[in-house]
Amino acid sequence: MKRVLLFVLALTFAGSALADNGMWLPSEIHKRIDDMQAKGLRLTAEDIYSINQASLKDASVHFNGGCSAELISDNGLLITNHHCGYRWIQEHSSVEHDYLKDGFWAMNIEDELPNKNIFVRFLIRMEDVTEIVLKGYDTSMTESQRDSLIETNSAPLIEAASKEGAGYSASVKPLYYGNQYFIWVFQTFTDVRLVGAPPSSIGKFGGDTDNWMWPRHTGDFALFRIYADKDNNPAAYSEDNVPYKPKKYFKLSIKERNEGDFTFVYGYPGRTQEYVHSEAVRYISEISNPHKRNLRTKRLEVQEKYMSQSQKVRIQYSSKNSSVSNAWKKWLGEMNGIRKLKAYQEKKAYEQAFHNWAADKPEYGEVIPMLDKLYAELEPYAFATDYYNESIRANEIIRFAENICTAFSQNRSKDHFDQLIETYFKDYFLPIDKESFLLLLAEYDKNVPQNLRPAYFATQMTALGSTDAWVEHIFATSALTTEESTRAFVEKALSAENYWDVLSADPAILFSNEFRQHYLNEINKPYTEINRQITLLYRAYMKGQMEFTPEFPFFPDANSTLRVAYGHIKGYSPADGIFFKPVSTIEGIMEKDNPDIFDYNIPQELRDIYARKDYGKWGVNGTIPVCFIATNHTSGGNSGSPVIDADGNLIGINFDRVWEGTMSDIVFDPDLCRNISLDIRFALFIIDKLAGAQRILDEIEIVE
């Protein structure tokens, strides 16, 4: 019987027990080091993570809370993905200085550009504090009492850790659905300046067409620098700040590498659901992803129509378009992968085996039936939540209205409103917003059941006759359609005795508020309560799984904390008769090059360099490697992560996954799941031959 159960588990996790699967805690890496060394690693656990000496964790950073990055010099030079730095490249761009189109290189340190609202965080240490956090807990407590106890016990830990150094902060986070708790202590730097970025035709080569695909030929990198005060401590931007001196930085290897070579990724994966229940998997693949993709398809078509007609609109909407498109394409690969692997059916089989095992165990006996029941109750509220986010709040004028109301409720200053308005209209194009709104509201009307809509919806439809007429009315009468009218409207509300009397007269604000209140009271409340019950059951389910199959190498789901994932450079076969090699080269760029298509129109200088084969020491066997794939288990948030060789040298920058393997957040398939990385040799080639930025190369240590 046990062999059968283990076989079911192995199927459920797609053979992960034998594969390069897992996102391991750095402080626990000593438990995996034998396996890593057996697969090729030539470092020790202390080299990877240490609180007693400089280690690779000190060269890896969390980039603005959503990406990863790494130090590559003793002067605070940082490399991450072009798409991670895209927002700040865009903010510095204009029609006169289009750094998105032309690239940017600071040829001296004075030219490095300061950025607003950007930060990097170093992990100082992490520690298992489960015993401390749960001290005083007993099973007679309610969940609310347990949460209160955890908060009380965590507070002194967080307070003490935050006082350990300048710019320190800490948080206590649960793992394994609350079966374990860790404290993470960070140091945060907020003076981070743009140093260099290739043109988007290199950094975003292939655009949305190539996104999530292999082979890939995208030079997805950008350079920033961390600045500190004279004592090397975090400080707000100042001309007196100096480049940060890190404890550790990566050397860049340009050595030859081959299929089968060991690699590991050290970054901040955002969120995975490896142990999620089958009904959650079914909802994702059969309901949520198809509906959300449909809504985003409509937005993308409108954006791309207008972006193709105007350089100004293209700049304004480049970042927005990329954000919408990224998830749109990922969702398709994810649902196809789930279906191909029969993940829902395999999880159902595992759950049945677990339920049979738990029949005589009161702690676990009703876990599976209760999860089935709760997911059935959750589904309509999850669906309404998806539509609220993707068809209501997805409209820019509605999000703007919400932001204005929030600012008023927080008694923000006039200066704050001025900045809010200026930032919004800098990248706003009304025809895109209006045309999208017409399409999205019609889809809401078509798909959301009557009992999940606000009463306000029916009232307005009766008054105006159709969703199209409703949207036309909003754009014809709202003050939030132009910068000038918005400023006058806000000033009137600021001077009014009751600002809501003014705000509520605007149809965009009324729309936003009515839908938001309905969502918070009628959708989010039951959604949150059911999810709370599900999470509580997952705690028991997770604990039970570990008892059910103790031989399985469990790892905690990603939660935006530092993780190690290891594997090998390796090709794959996505379908019968097809095999993808693990490396792409500059020849692939030239094959795709097309001056008539924005995303494939490379700089003329690159064409000239290719014609001369002027690759310098970055070339190998008459070409330039561009990207490579490996079996490292990555997720969103790993963008920008260092990809490291067996000796601890940087060989690549992680930036994507292959489309056929995007279901790896839920189920990892060793045959299909591959992470895509930029080969560091291509980045160095661009810095040298295209940018001519020798001063950047001079501060980087190369391993030849």
Q: Which amino acid is at 66?
A: G
Q: Which of 570, 657, 678, 662 is nearest to 69 (CA)?
A: 678
Give the largest CA-CA distance in the chain.
76
Residue 12, pLDDT > 50, answer no
> Strand, helix or coil at 84?
helix
Residue 315 pLDDT level (bands cut at 50, 70, 90): confident
Cβ count within 10 A of residue 466? 12
Q: Which two tokens stand for residue 179?
A: 């079966």
The whole-model pTM stands at 0.86
pLDDT above 90: percentage of residues in the chain: 91
Tokens 């059941």, residue located:
449
Average the pLDDT over 298-302 and give the result.
97
Residue 13, pLDDT > 70, answer no
Task: In whole angstroms, give the CA distance from residue 77 to residue 81.
Answer: 14
Task: In whole angstroms, give the CA distance from residue 132 to residue 117.
Answer: 35
- Tell me if residue 83 is catalytic: yes
Which pLDDT belongs to residue 19? Answer: 56
Cβ count within 10 A of residue 38? 9
Q: Which two tokens stand for residue 267?
A: 């970054």
Length of the chain counted residue by residue? 704
- Residue 184 β-bridge partners: 126, 171
Task: In whole angstroms, give the CA distance from residue 450 to residue 125.
Answer: 51
Residue 139 pLDDT level (bands cut at 50, 70, 90): confident
Residue 406, pLDDT > 90, answer yes
* Chain mean pLDDT for the chain: 95
Residue 591, pLDDT > 80, answer yes
Average the pLDDT over 600-605 and give the result.
95
Which pLDDT belongs to residue 93? Answer: 84
Catalytic, out of 58, 98, 210, 220: 220
pLDDT tens digit sequence for 683-697: 999 999 999 999 999
Catalytic, out of 639, 641, 664, 677: 639
Q: Which residues contact 674 (CB under 8 A, 6 or more apart)?
A: 214, 570, 572, 629, 630, 631, 657, 658, 661
Q: Which segments within 465-619 are labelled E, that is strand?
A: 563-568, 572-575, 578-580, 583-585
- Tell me if residue 138 is catalytic: no
pLDDT above 70: percentage of residues in the chain: 97
Average the pLDDT over 42-70 and give the result.
97
Please classify residue 346 by burial: count the beta carbons closer than 10 Å to its beta carbon, then call 0-12 exposed, 13-18 middle and 19+ buried: buried
Tokens 């972006």, residue located:
307
Residue 170 pLDDT level (bands cut at 50, 70, 90): very high
Please classify residue 369 by burial: count the beta carbons closer than 10 Å to its beta carbon, then call 0-12 exposed, 13-18 middle and 19+ buried: exposed
Task: In whole angstroms, give the CA distance from residue 111 to residue 12.
Answer: 53
pLDDT tens digit sequence for 497-540: 999 999 999 999 999 999 999 999 999 999 999 999 999 999 99
Q: Which of 508, 520, 524 is nearest to 404 (CA)?
A: 508
Q: What is the CA radius of gyration of the chain?
A: 26
Tell which CATH classification among 3.40.50.1220, 2.40.10.120, 2.120.10.30, 3.40.50.300 matches the domain 2-119+190-272+555-703: 2.40.10.120
Average the pLDDT over 630-650 and give the result.
97
The region of weakest confidence among 181-185, 323-327, 459-463, 474-478 is 323-327
Which pLDDT belongs to residue 465? Answer: 96
Tokens 């080269």, residue located:
585
Residue 236 pLDDT level (bands cut at 50, 70, 90): very high
Average the pLDDT over 456-463 and give the result.
97
User: Using an 8 Å Cβ cutoff, are 132 and 150 in contact?
Assistant: no
Task: In whole angstroms, give the CA distance from residue 199 to residue 312.
Answer: 17
Domain ranges of the chain: 2-119+190-272+555-703, 290-332+369-547
- Tell me if residue 220 is catalytic: yes
Residue 6, pLDDT > 60, answer no
> Strand, helix or coil at 261?
coil
Task: In whole angstroms, give the CA distance from residue 162 to residue 169.
Answer: 5
Task: In whole angstroms, give the CA distance from residue 502 to residue 610.
Answer: 62
pLDDT tens digit sequence for 352-378: 999 999 999 999 999 999 999 999 999
Average the pLDDT over 164-190 and give the result.
97
Catalytic, out of 62, 83, 277, 633: 83
Task: In whole angstroms, give the CA distance from residue 206 to residue 649.
Answer: 28
Which pLDDT belongs to residue 672? Answer: 94
